[in-house]
Structure 1
Amino acid sequence: MKIRYMLSELWIAFGFPIIVLGIIILVYYFSKKRMKKNVFFYKIFRYIKISSCIIFICFIIIEALIINYPKYNRNSDDYIIVLGAGLDNGGVPNLILRERLDIAIKCTKENLAQYIVLSGGQGTDESTSEAQAMSEYLQAKGIEKNKIILEDKSRDTNENLKYSKEKIEEFSNKSISDIKVKIVTTDFHAFRSSILAKKNGYKNFDNYSSTMPWYFVPSTYARESIAVIKSILFDK
């Protein structure tokens, strides 16, 4: 299973992009002379080159922000929110999600928060909600059930934070702006989760992130830059 994951992620990160880039270079090489003779196509190709340069610069800037965003804050907070990441075999936290849950356990043992909010709904291919599967994992590791709050409606990161806010406010009878929250996710995801936390009214929050196997890094960080733009423009 681990080898299959590794090969899949390496293909997404390196194999597929290299093939696409190779095709683009070949098309350019064999058609550039013809394009120069045709004013219309030459102008279009010029705009494509300029646009590609702008997109590349934006990609580099976003990646720098994702990489350099603070990810390991050890301040004491009132609540931990663990963001869902998917289940294996329909009902078991996957590798990335287990890493996040282990960080939540570590934070709890170090008294960095009193309560853990587990955020994640049930997918069409899952036999239970992510929140319930996470709860079972934590309880098996010795976390008391009365310290766990389930949020089992969300389908994405924005909804994770939106519905977790509702659960926390209901549980505490306080506004989210008056509550200190620690968001537990994976390192590549910390920057975007902070953007969405601010959009959802969180004022006093920080991040404590888990890491991931090296073979996940290229593809997840590359995809995350696109997700950041999507969250900025469309998530409310």
Structure 2
Amino acid sequence: MEKLKKNINLIIGIVLCIYVVLINLICGKVSFSYSFFILGIILIIYHFIKDKIKGINKVLKVVKPIILVFIIIFITIEAAIILYPKKNIDKADYMIILGAGLKGEKLSMTLEQRLNKALEYIENYDNGINIVVSGGQGPGEDITEAEAMKRYLIKNGVKEDNIIMENKSTSTSENLIYSKEKIENIVDGKIKSVKIKVVTSDFHAFRSNMLAKRNGYEKISFYTNNTFFPLIPIMYTREFLAVIKSYILD
């Protein structure tokens, strides 16, 4: 047990590095995963130099309370992300599908999962719902995410007349702002009176709701896809940081 405690930094560091390598082999390039890899390298290096650092125990006494506070904040926010309602099947006036990246013109795995979830809802609960596909064009994307989503939905049986394109947004906040503009122009009224169904990833619902409320959405519910299991640590950790960023800046 003592040996395990002594080598815990090394073990965690190696596990993190192996995890990142495997994830990128299985899923292709997963950008935020490199943060896990860097953390793993830091832990491995720390394991071999910690006994050579003078005054390390004094530093740890100062750092440990800070780490404890961080862990409490992390657990609190993650609990909110995990527990937020994600499978509402009530009918709505409009569906908004939030974009999630392309590789050229090819859907990312996350975006394809969101679209498949939207198709599931349309088929099972509301075949005639109006759909806003929301997403602009980012680095490495040959077309807008909205255009790619529209093509996929039409290919899978959705009527083109039911699809509204929002192709300017580059963030979740902009997704909701520009989609709101599209819908309000059609209904000639305020978004607060319109029932909105947002389709996104499970980890993304809590933050999306927070940003939606800031932008006047009131009758909003979510229907989300489950994150690919091996990606859960990466996606939920990234979302923790995104929630803090959105709370302060968006």
Q: Please indicate the TM-score interval, normalised by the length of the shorter structure.
A: 0.7 to 0.9
The CA deviation string for residues 11-45 of structure 1, in whole angstroms up to 9 with x for no partner, is 648654333334445555433x6356xxxxx4x65
**More displaced stretch, 140-149 vs 205-214:** 205-214
Q: Structure 1 residue 213: deviation in Å?
A: 1.7
Match of residue 88 from structure 2: 73
Distance 1:27 1:149, change over 3 A: same
CA distance in 1, matches of 2:212, 2:192: 11
The CA deviation string for residues 48-100 of structure 1, in whole angstroms up to 9 with x for no partner, is 32222111110111111111111111111111100000012x11211111111
Match of residue 98 from structure 1: 112
Match of residue 52 from structure 2: 30
1:17 to 18, 39, 53: 39
**Contact 1:12/1:219 (8 A) holds in 2:** no
Distance 1:193 1:11, change over 3 A: closer
**TM-score, normalised by the number of residues in structure 1:** 0.87
CA distance in 1, matches of 2:56, 2:108: 49
Distance 1:109 1:29, change over 3 A: same
Q: SS state of the match for residue 227, structure 2?
A: coil
**More displaced stretch, 101-110 vs 190-199:** 101-110
Q: Which structure would you say has the larger RCO, counting Cα contacts within 8 Å and 6 or more residues apart?
A: 1
Q: Structure 1 residue 162: deviation in Å?
A: 0.7
Match of residue 214 from structure 2: 199
Q: SS state of the match for residue 165, structure 1?
A: helix
Match of residue 48 from structure 1: 63
**Contact 1:151/1:167 (8 A) holds in 2:** yes
**Structure 1: which amino acid aligns with 2:191?**
I
Match of residue 39 from structure 1: none
**Structure 2: which amino acid aligns with 1:87?**
L
The CA deviation string for residues 169-196 of structure 1, in whole angstroms up to 9 with x for no partner, is 0111121000000110011111111111
**Structure 2: which amino acid aligns with 1:30?**
K
**Structure 1: which amino acid aligns with 2:74?**
F
Is 1:150 aligned to 2:171, yes or no? no
CA distance in 2, matches of 1:52, 1:166: 42
Distance 1:120 1:221, change over 3 A: same
Is 1:229 aligned to 2:244, yes or no? yes
CA distance in 2, matches of 1:11, 1:98: 20
**TM-score, normalised by the number of residues in structure 2:** 0.82
Task: List gaps (5 residues or longer) in structure 1.
Answer: 37-41
**Contact 2:203/2:227 (8 A) holds in 1:** no
Q: Sequence identity, in percent?
A: 40
**Contact 1:115/1:147 (8 A) holds in 2:** yes
**Contact 2:133/2:150 (8 A) holds in 1:** yes
2:122 to 108, 111, 123: 108
CA distance in 2, matches of 1:21, 1:111: 49
Q: How does 1:98-177 map to 2 (within 5 A)?
A: 98-112=112-126, 114-177=129-192
Task: List gaps (5 residues or longer) in structure 2.
Answer: 1-22
